[in-house]
């Protein structure tokens, strides 16, 4: 993975003045490009992968005109021929009678022409017999042993017939490049007889936490120590994105250890994620390390939570003529801030690197059920609990705690309440934007 733009041109004011969220997103978006390696995989292995090229349909879908429901197929010209007889008192006097010439079922077509005044008993999905273009549903007819009778005014010519290529015509793009293959897509590809597809290789993401106070699950806690939760949330978020996730553990606040970890991560991954070590504390060595072997900007963002963020690229220890750089995100140390910055910046970057269409997460309006304090000049991502009332309208309230270290608030919430940069205080009953966790987290 290469960086297409040089970020070293950021002025000192970018570091001193909080950077708006949209500006940071634009800078990140402009600095990356997709992985170029393409591989062909079997259909079932394509789930969650990113298509490297359009998939062109080799056949028409459906491959032949067929019945959309159970009934009787016939030539729709008979409908116009069944005009209301002269002298009829009312339209209900009109009836059309057809002789049943045979039966057609899926996989067992009626292989003879259907003549004038005839019909064919047909099941859903069966090919339309020659000479037929309309299906009258079975519940519309009165059946005798050899004939059917029905009101021709209840249907129109061509009704209940699915045409050849109606779903997808031969030579048309069935799925476009950049699409993440989902379950429905696998079924669509199988219906075309496609056995394998070209996809971009999976993005490799290395991640680790920094801090002398951190302990891994299973280790005893010493005085002043805490268990590292960030690696577990990062792993979970990455797993949902179908990347190759490389957990490099916990790295102590020691310059040599941190430099070795960053260089090793850059050598084996497209993206390197760290949590902690990007603030201005005396024990934060990340800035000093990356200055010697990377091109990294350290930002103060106009957002809450997640104010400190480092972004740029790193070079591995052994840098050859064709050696690639790794994209680097230094995330905050607080657990909630890690999740917020991941979903607001890292998620889109990984999608872009993977070659996927990086659509923004779903957002929609809800009514705030309580007043919310907010100062203009920063974007806030509050944890919220959204509910849908009996009227079908959504309402939302912030969770009881909004501290960036209170990870339980993420478990209690089901959405982010997104308060934009210019937003001031929110009154109870006012509309706010929410970003649901479902499908995101």
**Could you give the residue range(s) of every CATH 3.90.105.10 domain in the chain?**
40-61+166-200
E-strand ranges in 58-190 read 66-67, 71-74, 96-104, 118-122, 134-137, 142-143, 147-150, 161-162, 173-175
What percent of the chain stands above pLDDT 70? 89
pLDDT at 387: 95
Architecture of domain 12-37+201-354: 3-Layer(aba) Sandwich (3.40)
Residue where the block lists tokens 């309580």? 370
Q: CA-CA distance, 379 to 77, in Å (whole number)?
A: 65
Burial class (CB in 10 A: 0-12, 13-18, 19+), 285: buried
* pLDDT for 80: 86
- The predicted pLDDT at position 438 comes to 84
What CATH number should be reported for the domain whose range is 66-162? 2.170.190.11
> Under CATH, to which class is 364-436 assigned?
mainly beta
Mean pLDDT confidence for 134-151: 95
Report d(CA 434, CA 384) in Å as an integer. Answer: 8
CATH of domain 40-61+166-200: 3.90.105.10
Which among 96, 405, 90 has a CA at the least distance from the CA of 227?
405
pLDDT in tens, 262-298: 999 999 999 999 998 776 554 456 666 777 788 888 8
The CA R_g of the chain, rounded to the nearest whole Å, is: 31
Number of neighbouring beta carbons within 10 Å of residue 390:
5
Query: Where does the pLDDT of residue 359 fall: very low under 50, low under 70, confident under 90, or very high at 90 and above?
Result: confident
Record the pTM. 0.83
Coil/strand/helix, residue 183: helix
pLDDT of 90 above 70: no
Domain ranges in the chain with CATH number 2.170.190.11: 66-162
Give CATH 2.40.340.10 domain extents, the chain.
Answer: 364-436
Mean pLDDT value across residues 65-93: 78
Range name among 139-148, 173-182, 320-329 with the lowest pLDDT average: 320-329
């Amino acid at each position: 993975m290469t960086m297409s733009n040089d970020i070293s041109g950021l002025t000192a004011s970018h570091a001193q003045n909080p950077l708006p969220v949209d500006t940071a997103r634009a800078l990140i978006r402009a600095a990356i490009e997709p992985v170029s390696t393409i591989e062909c995989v079997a259909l079932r292995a394509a789930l969650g992968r990113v298509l490297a090229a359009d998939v062109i349909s080799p056949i028409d879908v459906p491959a032949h005109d067929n019945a959309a429901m159970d009934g009787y197929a016939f030539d729709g010209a008979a409908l116009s021929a069944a005009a209301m007889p002269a002298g009829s008192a009312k339209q209900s006097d009109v009836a059309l009678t057809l002789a049943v010439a045979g039966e057609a079922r899926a996989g067992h077509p009626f292989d003879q022409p259907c003549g004038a005044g005839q019909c064919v008993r047909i099941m859903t999905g069966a090919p339309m017999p020659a000479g037929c273009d309309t299906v009258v549903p079975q519940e519309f007819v009165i059946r005798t042993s050899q004939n059917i009778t029905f009101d021709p005014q209840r249907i129109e010519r061509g009704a209940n017939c699915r045409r050849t290529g109606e779903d997808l015509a031969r030579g048309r793009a069935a799925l476009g490049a950049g699409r993440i293959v989902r379950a429905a897509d696998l079924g669509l590809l199988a219906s075309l007889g496609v056995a394998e597809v070209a996809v971009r290789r999976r993005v490799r993401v290395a991640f680790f936490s920094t801090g002398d106070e951190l302990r891994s699950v299973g280790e005893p806690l010493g005085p002043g120590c805490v268990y590292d939760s960030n690696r577990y949330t990062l792993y979970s978020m990455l797993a949902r994105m179908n990347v190759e996730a490389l957990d490099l553990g916990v790295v102590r606040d020691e310059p040599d250890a941190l430099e070795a970890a960053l260089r090793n991560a850059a050598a084996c991954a497209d993206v390197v994620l760290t949590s902690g070590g990007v603030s201005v504390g005396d024990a934060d060595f990340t800035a000093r390390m990356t200055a010697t072997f990377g091109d990294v900007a350290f930002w103060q963002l106009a957002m809450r939570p997640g104010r400190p963020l480092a972004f740029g690229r790193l070079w591995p220890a052994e840098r050859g003529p064709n050696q690639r750089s790794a994209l680097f995100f230094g995330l905050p140390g607080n657990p909630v801030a890690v999740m917020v910055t991941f979903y607001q910046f890292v998620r889109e970057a990984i999608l872009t690197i993977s070659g996927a269409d990086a659509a923004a997460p779903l957002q929609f309006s809800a009514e705030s059920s309580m007043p919310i304090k907010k100062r203009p000049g920063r974007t806030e991502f509050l944890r919220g609990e959204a509910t849908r009332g009996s009227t079908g309208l959504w309402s939302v309230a912030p969770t009881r705690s909004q501290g960036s270290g209170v990870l339980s608030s993420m478990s209690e919430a089901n959405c982010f309440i997104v308060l934009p940069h210019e937003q001031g205080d929110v009154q109870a009953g006012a509309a706010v934007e929410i970003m649901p966790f479902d499908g995101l987290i």
